[in-house]
Structure 1
């Protein structure tokens, strides 16, 4: 992403003029304070903070007047250091209060300046940190007070944590955690706004469990336990994964959480409890189909299709998939990828080729490529990559989600950095897309990037 010439910014001049006027006004006001109480109260010395602020404005002016990107970065980082020093060393100063609360100082917008500092990561446009910054710029802002689920922003927090910028991750997720603790984010069903899931993916298991165990509602409680168990298994903590699988099963049984039993079966299987998982799955399928025949209501939860594919029942998995895929399109790549990993690759490919949504078809092909490589079948993987590339070429680079899936497949296929060009292309396509596309594309792009960086479907 190209950085605009620094001289185009005009912050420093007006800010310095406004600062001089503010200092003059402060001097007059201080001289006019004549009450005895005011005279007895020592006023904090504003001079040192003001000097640092003027130095910071001078650094910004120098950054604005250079063509050299490295020099601009150096000046801006020095200005940032000086402004932070005001807050740390002179917290009683008026300037510190204005900076901490993101107030304007004259015409100087500290919030905008911080955004400018963050954008410096894109001096190296092909890095993952730059990719994250560009995705963040697309996301609709979080409305305060927080009362609605924002998986896009929580995904961003998980992504920053995964890439290694834990400070930025905490900055993003902290307001959501506070909202859940205050109860401001919870509706009548106990919705936790995905906060526990995000915390688990960031390694904060105990905090995630503390939130989860306060939720009485079946869906959120079971989903959270499953996600925390999955994250534990990815980190190699199979003891915790097994414990949480049993907890999810016990809770589902006690509360009659029938719709979530497919997810419980997956959790048991992931924890190495295949016998218990298979028994629960078969009983659940029989019960669900009996209810469907009797009541003619919704047949089956989508997680049941995923569980069938994980347990190796291809015909049942595809039958369930046809039932649930219209309302839950995410199940298509999830089910087909699992089927392909168990050597039913031709069946999975035939199904994928019939999918009308190009983004979903592309994601399914990316899953089939990874499955082929895990089966030790590079020939099939190469053929599938050609199909995915043709799909991308036919869209003429206009589908950011499809380009992100190509990037994901390239990482698995080649193991080098060529995926970065495709992912950058997905961001460029998103920048050119409508506001409607940009609003919704953030979470899928983050899911693809985290999958690329970790090899795990953390945000899928």
Structure 2
């Protein structure tokens, strides 16, 4: 049987006509005429580049005309390969310059085409690659020049690196690294835009340390050292690095009089296997902080001290510290309760979680309590907590996508299979349908949940 379509439709013919005119235009020399040999070489390169480009356009048109997802993907990837060949083989051609700078060639928009190529990962809508692509589409754009911390975009870089796309991760993080290296942030304001912490999670500990050791601000310097140590232990970096960095943080705090960060140092020492020094530092810090609070009636305690108490102190002390810091630092609630449950104080942790007014925070606490119950082998407690979280998520799913992400995290803990993916997809669907206010802030929580599910480790606080 003869094919139903024997000639290109009018829009396709017009498109090729426009593209051919554009190719003719970029093939014409600008300025003075080159010598015969050079002119012949340039003409040959331009002709070869044009041929590859036309072949790519034909493949794209074929992809547009098929309903087979696999065939569409194959054709588009082949077209992408040809366009990349234009750039790599004939970089001096005007066509290559147009592609690299995202200029239109006729009515062909190379930037839009690259976006379409990236979206091919969603041919498998439940894959983590598709989840990352969709979350990235929701993030507010980065303003240039970069002067502000953007943990959402850096989280996207970390997630891409950890989940198998290091090239994309480097594209995202490179402008932030450049901004810090320009010296406009780290040296003068004590901030590093979270760059060092992101680099540590991506396995670039030395670069992270180089940035960190240029910072004089107590909080940023010590937080970075401790987080680089934490990431090093997760990634299996040189065995002595976490302990060395914990000691460096302790020495820096003592030399600079950094008292607010000592709870953080105690945590680092404990993770490095130095329980004795960690406990001594923690107890001394608690006594000092409370004494200062009684004298000045100022801020009682840093949030990191509450977290340290959940690992080193008794439960009542940990919860007492948590009450003083949770309003301004809600991230501490699930962390502290999760640690207490892991130490066997599950009933006390659950009772505290039930009183949390913020629904998102309560849901995250439930998810961490599920994980703690699974680690203890307490299936009944895990199931009960899962039911509480499921009810909370179902009642608020349309307005609070983060709750669905926490439910997905808990499902991975309790079931250990891939059933969480459908719930996480629901979270992204809800986020895409939500208000601009929710969409603006939802990226980082979704990425943190996805990384926790896939790697077993949380994003840094």
SS of residue paired to 2:188: coil
1:344-383 alignment, distance < 5 Å:
344-383=345-384
Aligned length: 447
Aligned residue for 1:335? 336
After superposition, where does 1:133-152 map in structure 2 within 5 Å?
133-152=133-152
CA contact (8 A) 1:403 1:422 kept: yes
What is the root-mean-square deviation of aligned Cα atoms in Å? 1.9
Shift of 1:15: 5.0
Q: Structure 2 stretches of 5 or more lacking a match? A: 1-9
In structure 2, how many angstroms separate the alpha carbons of the residues matched to 1:453 and 1:226? 23
- Aligned partner of 1:92 in structure 2 is 92
Shift of 1:39: 5.1
Partner of 2:162: 162
Partner in structure 2 of residue 316 of structure 1: 317
Say if 1:138 and 1:442, in contact at 8 Å, map to a contact too. Answer: yes
Contact 1:372 / 1:378 at 8 angstroms: preserved in 2? yes
* Corresponding residue number in structure 1 for 2:407: 406
Distance 2:436 2:416 in 1: 33
The question of whether the paired residues in 2 share the 8 Å contact of 1:13 and 1:61 is answered with no
Q: Is the 1:147–1:186 Cα contact (8 Å) retained in structure 2?
A: no
Tell me the equivalent position of 1:42: 38
**CA shift for structure 1 position 162:** 1.0
CA deviation string 1:404-441 (max 9, x = no partner): 00000000100001100110010011011001101100
Residue 26 of structure 1: CA displacement? Answer: 4.7
- Could you tell me the TM-score, scaled by structure 1's length? 0.93
- Contact 1:15/1:105, CA 8 A, preserved across alignment: no
* Distance (Å, rounded) in 2 between the aligned partners of 1:227 and 1:65: 51
Q: CA deviation at 1:141?
A: 1.3
Structure 1 gap segments, 5+ residues each: 1-9
Distance (whole Å) between structure 2 residues aligned to residue 267 and residue 24 of structure 1: 64
**Contact 2:397–2:403 under 8 Å retained in 1:** no
Deviates more, 1:176-185 or 1:241-250: 176-185
Equivalent residue, structure 1, for 2:69: 69
- Using the TM superposition, give the Cα deviation of residue 13 of structure 1 relative to its aligned residue in structure 2, in angstroms: 6.1
**Distance in structure 2 (CA, Å) of the matches to 1:147 and 1:318:** 37
Answer yes or no: is the 8 Å Cα contact 1:261–1:280 preserved in 2. Answer: yes
In structure 2, what is the equivalent of residue 20 of structure 1? 20
CA distance in 1 between counterparts of 2:439 and 2:357 reads 22
CA shift in 2, pair 1:13/1:197, >3 Å:
farther
TM-score by length of 2: 0.93
CA change 1:313–1:15 in 2 (3 A) is farther
- Find the aligned partners of 1:300 and 1:100 in 2 and give their Cα distance: 53
Q: Is 1:200 paired with 2:200?
A: yes
* Structure-2 separation of matches of 1:229 and 1:353: 33
Establish whether residue 287 from structure 1 lines up as the match of residue 288 from structure 2: yes
1:435 is matched with which residue?
436
